[in-house]
Chains A and B, each alone.
Chain A
Amino acid sequence: QQQVKQSPQSLIVQKGGISIINCAYENTAFDYFPWYQQFPGKGPALLIAIRPDVSEKKEGRFTISFNKSAKQFSLHIMDSQPGDSATYFCAASMDSGGSQGNLIFGKGTKLSVKP
């Protein structure tokens, strides 16, 4: 119930294409869904986040789509660029119980954008 399942493990996209990474969760108490971007040798950095009261959030070329009934959310990267090549992690959190907002992470997707 605490898991967040992320797919695919790796993704290769041509420059200018759309990158799509998917995550699914079981626990309906989750109420915060962030995406993190990590470049080699660096710590993860918060990219974009959504709460379940909206179905989509867009920031520049990055969009989160959220489907509450299916318990799924996805990251779309439009016009993908070689500089987007990184590992992406989805996560989920809930403000209840002893966890007090601890993030549950997916296992990550390594994105390579080919020039």
Chain B
Amino acid sequence: DVKVTQSSRYLVKRTGEKVFLECVQDMDHENMFWYRQDPGLGLRLIYFSYDVKMKEKGDIPEGYSVSREKKERFSLILESASTNQTSMYLCAIRGGAGYEQYFGPGTRLTVT
């Protein structure tokens, strides 16, 4: 079974704090993704990575950065958290010949 783990299920942070969300996979897949999910807006792609130290902007990268120092780990960074970044954050991986993406359980982040 594909396993994607996220560092926290629930997180509460204050405005202005630096926030790290971590995603770890055990499948040796090259492609990793960060999405945010908001009611009525579906899943929106923040950043993705095709390889170690490689990153690409998705549809909504503003206010976020990422880091991929090792193949199995992809981190999402909120440099200065704001209330409009309160959301569910989902990590996904994709590998092999297919397009299938496998998601982690998500981190529900609340910024107060």
Question: CA A34 – CA B103 in complex, angstroms?
Answer: 14
Interface size class of A (residues with CB under 8 A): 20 to 34
From residue B27, how far is it (CB to closest CB) to chain A in Å?
Answer: 14
- Set B4, B40, B102: member contacting A107, Cβ < 8 A: B40
When C-beta atoms are compared, the residue in chain A nearest to B41 turns out to be A107
- Known contacts A44-B43, A44-B90; decide if A103 and B101 are in contact (CB<8 Å): yes
How many residues from B make CB contacts under 8 Å with A? 24
Beyond A42-B105, A46-B101, 13 additional pairs, beta carbon < 8 A? A9-B40, A43-B90, A43-B92, A43-B104, A46-B100, A49-B99, A89-B43, A100-B31, A101-B31, A102-B58, A103-B99, A105-B44, A108-B42
If over half of B's interface residues share one DSSP class (helix, strand or loop), that class is named, otherwise mixed; here it is strand
Binding site for A on B (CB under 8 A): 4, 31, 33, 40-45, 48, 50, 56, 58, 90, 92, 94, 99-106
From residue B56, how far is it (CB to closest CB) to chain A in Å?
Answer: 7
A44 and B103 contact, CB distance less than 8 A: yes
A101 and B94 contact, CB distance less than 8 A: yes
From residue B39, how far is it (CB to closest CB) to chain A in Å?
Answer: 9
B99 and A93 contact, CB distance less than 8 A: yes
- Set B4, B43, B48, B100: member contacting A34, Cβ < 8 A: B100
Which chain B residues border A9 with CB–CB below 8 Å?
A: 40
